[in-house]
Structure 1
Amino acid sequence: MFFSPANCLILLLVLNFTDAGRILRKIKERVRNLQLQEAKQHLQKQTVSGRQPLQHVKEGRIHQQLDHFNRQDVSTFPQRFFVNEAYWQRPHGPVFLFIGGEGPIFEFDVLAGHHVDMAEENGALLLALEHRFYGDSINPDGLKTENLAHLSSQQALADLAVFQHYISQNFNLSHKNTWISFGGSYSGALSAWFRKNFPHLVYGAVASSAPVKAKLDFSAYSNIVGLSLTNKAVGGSEKCLAGVREAFAAVEALMSGNASQVAMDFGCCTIPKNLDDQIELMQNLADIVMGTVQYNEEGVLMSINELCGVMTNTSKAYEKEMEAYNRLVKLAKIYHSTSDEPCLDISHEKTVKDMMDTSLPLGRRAERQWTYQTCTEFGFCGVDPWKELSVVQDRTEDGEEAQTIFIRDTAHCADMMSRKVTDRCSLKKAREEIEKHVVSWLKMAAAGED
């Protein structure tokens, strides 16, 4: 990757995300729902104070070419976007583009978030573009395997370029309107790649928790999870990590001789009799730990401090040789207490069946599309906070400079949320750094136009 030092910011966090198992996907959905709830509350407060930002939001569709790299194919699909003109200082105010990733976008993506805060402060036009084949931006037969061939990051980047031209024409924009792109996780990588591939269209890019490197066997994720569990700043310890390792070893040992007992202890829907189902069970239990690490203090499950409290608490209620195992059982019960699922589904056959469902996403699910993308483009096999695939130094492997902000004690893409009084000092400082970069880009762009 090449990153212009003046025009691109790669924002990297310790904790990131993956879509490895059912539970982790559900935790991710909870995080997104919580963010939407917070955005609604923020909007309600503005409405009470007499402001009506929702009135300035418009939803639209652009008919994108299905294959940008085949001129003979004239097929198109409708791509959804949102526009918020509430803060735009016409006619030369900047444009802030929120890039959608592996899921649907919402009107709140142009109403709340750190990029929205900065848009208000800098008089920017706010845009959000949904990724092809996710949310509502998909044709009725789009999930059939032969059609998924048009689902790729390269096609998505071409979508962004076409969308930039479309908006520029419809809003009579010129070179005086400076574009800044924003994204987190996969869409953070798209933000960085958009700036790299189309520097004449976007002046600067903020890429939060961006996995810009592809890697087939990405087992390094587990190492980062382990390191996070030992981080004293967030409540971790070496004892906590040792307890987690011991617990999983105990599950594996017991499952080989008494799978029915394991199924009963962890509330499984079925007994994991074959290897595939046993792997599903282990993956889902691992998801509880990984989801905790990824989202830590986001309020959707438990924090690392709380998890480690369970895994290191000495209790006479447990027999010594089964103590770690029973602590993991307790963690699973904590998860189930926050879930509406009657039991833990560990059927690998059902997982495969769900992945083969080509009907339009019910509730805008994205498992099939994202699995296809990761398998065909990125790898990501294994599980991971994506720090290992991000740029964490101020110089890339190619020697190009890259501006980085490394936040040591927060969660995945937490910087993208609006400011809160309860935010950690490191998160507040990171946002201040982002704001300084964005303001400096806008000043440099304006100076270049004089």
Structure 2
Amino acid sequence: MATPWQCLCLILILIISILCQASSIQLPSKNGARYLSIFWSSNRTLSVSPKYNYETKYFQQKLDHFSFTHLPSFRQRYLINTQYWLGPSRLGPIFLYCGNEGDIEWFAANTGFLWEIAPRFGAMVIFPEHRYYGESMPYGSKEEAYKNATTLSYLTAEQALADYAVLISELKRNLSAQACPVVLFGGSYGGMLAAWMRLKYPHISIGALASSAPILQFEDLVPPETFYNIVSNDFRRESTSCFRTIKESWDVINKVGQINGGLAQLTKTFHICRELESADSLTNWLESAYSYLAMANYPYPTDFLMPLPGNPIKEVCRKIDSLPDGASVLQRIFEGVSVYYNYTGKVNCFNLDDDPHGMSGWNWQACTEMIMPMASNRTTSMFPEFYYDPKSNEEQCLKDYHVKPRPTWITTEFGGHAFKSALKAFGSNIIFSNGLLDPWSGGSVLKDVSDTIVALITEKGAHHLDLRAATAEDPDWLLDQRSSEIKMIRDWLDEYYGEKKATFSM
């Protein structure tokens, strides 16, 4: 969200993303959508305790699938579980999650829906890791892989999709399971990949569940103010006074930051570990928190992005509104944002550039092909007003990576303009699921395109909530959404098995 993806994711995220300063689906910056890079609290480290059983394996991948140049290969990590798989003789299905911008174990731990439905389908479960994230590093290490534009040039969605296509094809061949149907899953950027893979490699899978997948967040397909308007509406829905306090805070922060000793004062007020160099860095940090709170506005406590209470925006606004009369705007904002950055109360100070989930590669993707225009309208948004400036975005990317963004490449590669007619003519078996509390829902598909490309919408859902594990606190509308998804997946498989049976009986 705001120099803060930055998931479906999250995506969202969400991304979140889930990332250094400025970046789900994990956040948009004023110069473009670095939407999955996250600001984290100090001393937070990634610790994923596997909730589900799987083997960790590695597959030797080509660095460049689209040339015959001799380049070094790399080891792609993937997680696999065959405990409930019916096997090739019974055409057991394969459920493949399209790994997104971060450590694959993190996504596996937060995609309980996939693990929970696998037994009833007799499915194999596979979580391949996205190249340049987690342990799937070309050139042997992250330092080498991220060295410059030449080594990073193979970090693209197209290469990642080719990785998944090659991996699943080889695994099926090795297991004599060529006839076993594959169903794709993904949230946020992973949901985008699942939808795009279904369209680009229709022979690889029979269907895709794309949750919180903002495939229309490019060029002018949706208004650039959409993301921040939804975040703002989430806060205004809880409390108009909370909304107004946040809206007022930006001018206060800027004024304090400009006075002598002001940055030191802001550093102290917000418990930042190192003295702020500018008010903008604090502004970005706050924007990121509000955006991720909207993504993770789940009805029960979670720790997907940060340890958070249920309905966290409600708790933020309660903190902001409950301080006694006379409390300053900055005091109120600090109490509120602490719900996101320090709900456990264990953090003494905040570091603005932690990246525990290894998502900083998204900054590169957001400077090359993932160009998602973002803007904020002062009338409809609680955020500072700004406009998307492609020239400024290009200058920043040239400075950071010595590359120029390609803002029209995603729509050229995967479509977007007149997407309804295109998907209706050439696509099938895709579920676009979205919760309208999720700011990334505004860039997703919110209406049915055809009988087989459908949109499942929930008013109170947040970033790819449907992909999370079932809990005792799940509301009825979430249970209904998941039931609909299960039924559609069952229908895809029944149709596939019916066609196979007809073929064999001919």
Scaled by the length of structure 1, the TM-score of the pair is 0.79
Q: Deviations over 1:198-230 (max 9, x none)?
A: 111100001111121353695532211001112
Cα offset, 1:160, TM superposition: 1.3
- Alignment partners' CA distance in 2, 1:375 and 1:216: 14
Match of 1:88 in 2: 85
- Alignment partners' CA distance in 2, 1:417 and 1:226: 24
- Alignment partners' CA distance in 2, 1:180 and 1:106: 20
Contact 1:110–1:128 under 8 Å retained in 2 = no
Cα offset, 1:128, TM superposition: 1.3
Match of 1:226 in 2: 232
Give the 5 Å matches for 1:147-186. Answer: 147-175=151-179, 177-186=180-189
Contact 1:18–1:385 under 8 Å retained in 2 = no
Evaluate the alpha carbon distance shift between residue 22 and residue 374 of structure 1 in structure 2; reply closer, same or farther with a 3 A threshold: closer
Higher relative contact order, structure no. (Cα contacts within 8 Å, ≥ 6 residues apart): 1
Contact 2:246–2:333 under 8 Å retained in 1 = yes
Post-superposition, which runs of at least 4 consecutive aligned residues in structure 1 deviate over 4 A? 10-16, 18-24, 26-34, 216-219, 339-342, 381-384
Cα offset, 1:240, TM superposition: 2.6
Evaluate the alpha carbon distance shift between residue 99 and residue 29 of structure 1 in structure 2; reply closer, same or farther with a 3 A threshold: farther
The alignment status of 1:427 with 2:478, answered yes or no, reads yes
- Alignment partners' CA distance in 2, 1:223 and 1:156: 31
**Match 2:249 to one of 247, 250, 270:** 247
Contact 1:214–1:378 under 8 Å retained in 2 = no
Evaluate the alpha carbon distance shift between residue 289 and residue 191 of structure 1 in structure 2; reply closer, same or farther with a 3 A threshold: same
Cα offset, 1:103, TM superposition: 1.0
Give the RMSD, CA atoms, in angstroms: 3.3
Q: Which runs of 5+ in 1 are unaligned?
A: 1-9, 44-53, 355-361
**Match 1:197 to one of 197, 200, 204:** 200
- Alignment partners' CA distance in 1, 2:184 and 2:348: 42
Contact 2:230–2:439 under 8 Å retained in 1 = yes
Evaluate the alpha carbon distance shift between residue 244 and residue 429 of structure 1 in structure 2; reply closer, same or farther with a 3 A threshold: same
Evaluate the alpha carbon distance shift between residue 385 and residue 111 of structure 1 in structure 2; reply closer, same or farther with a 3 A threshold: closer
Evaluate the alpha carbon distance shift between residue 377 and residue 107 of structure 1 in structure 2; reply closer, same or farther with a 3 A threshold: closer
Evaluate the alpha carbon distance shift between residue 410 and residue 198 of structure 1 in structure 2; reply closer, same or farther with a 3 A threshold: same
Give the 5 Å matches for 1:8-407. Answer: 17-19=15-17, 22=21, 25=38, 36=48, 40=51, 54=53, 57-90=54-87, 91=89, 92-106=91-105, 109=108, 113-139=112-138, 140=140, 141-145=144-148, 146-175=150-179, 177-215=180-218, 218-231=224-237, 236-257=238-259, 258-273=262-277, 277-297=278-298, 298-299=301-302, 300-302=307-309, 303-313=312-322, 315-318=324-327, 322=328, 324-334=329-339, 335-336=341-342, 338=344, 342-345=348-351, 365-367=358-360, 369-380=361-372, 382=374, 385-395=439-449, 402-407=453-458
Q: Deviations over 1:49-70 (max 9, x none)?
A: xxxxx4xx33222111111111
Match of 1:3 in 2: none
Number of residue pairs aligned between Structure 1 and Structure 2: 396
Contact 1:216–1:380 under 8 Å retained in 2 = yes
Evaluate the alpha carbon distance shift between residue 58 and residue 28 of structure 1 in structure 2; reply closer, same or farther with a 3 A threshold: farther
- Alignment partners' CA distance in 2, 1:330 and 1:422: 27
Amino acid at match of 2:196: W
Amino acid at match of 2:317: C
> What secondary structure is seen at the aligned counterpart in 1 of 2:60?
strand
Scaled by the length of structure 2, the TM-score of the pair is 0.70
- Alignment partners' CA distance in 1, 2:66 and 2:20: 34
Contact 1:212–1:389 under 8 Å retained in 2 = yes
Evaluate the alpha carbon distance shift between residue 392 and residue 29 of structure 1 in structure 2; reply closer, same or farther with a 3 A threshold: farther
Evaluate the alpha carbon distance shift between residue 108 and residue 266 of structure 1 in structure 2; reply closer, same or farther with a 3 A threshold: closer
Q: Which runs of 5+ in 2 are unaligned?
A: 1-7, 23-36, 376-437, 502-506
Cα offset, 1:317, TM superposition: 4.7
What percentage of residue pairs aligned between the two structures are identical?
Answer: 26
Cα offset, 1:301, TM superposition: 3.0
- Alignment partners' CA distance in 2, 1:282 and 1:110: 31
Cα offset, 1:442, TM superposition: 0.6
Which structure dedicates a bigger proportion of its chain to helix?
Answer: 1
- Alignment partners' CA distance in 2, 1:11 and 1:296: 12
